[in-house]
Amino acid sequence: MTSQEWLDKARRGKLALIQLIQDFHPALPHTVELPMTITAPRAEEMRQRIVKHMAKDYDPVALFNKALDASDVSTVTSVLNRAWFGVPESLDCWSMTGFKEAVDLLDEPPEDV
């Protein structure tokens, strides 16, 4: 997939991706309380420890929007990676808005970057 195809895919999923960022990006307060079964307790414990120390002094939604508008694949990827990392270790994550879209993009980065 080319960068342009990847960015087009990100733009098509923009609203869902923004929802995922708002709900789980470590720079934002975690306010979503979903009934989730933690399927990897040790990994979840480590994830929580790391998330506490991640930078919280910027607006990831604004950064995502700016990067997407500028076709900045690297920054879009970075924001999505951090949002994905903020998601609890649970198979229930697949039902969250934006999770599948983020995984699709992160699993298949552009070949021409």
Query: Domain extents for the chain?
Result: 3-30+37-107
Q: Please state the pTM of the whole predicted model.
A: 0.87
Residues 7-22 pLDDT 10s = 999 999 999 999 999 9
The CA distances from residue 90 to 68, 70, 97, 102, in Å, are 28, 33, 14, 16
Q: Which residues of 67-100 are buried (b: 16+ CB within 10 A; e: fewer)?
A: bbeeebbeebbebbebbbebbbbbebbeebebbe
Residues 36-60 pLDDT 10s = 888 888 988 888 888 777 767 789 9
More confident residue, 52 or 98: 98
Model pLDDT, residue 63: 96
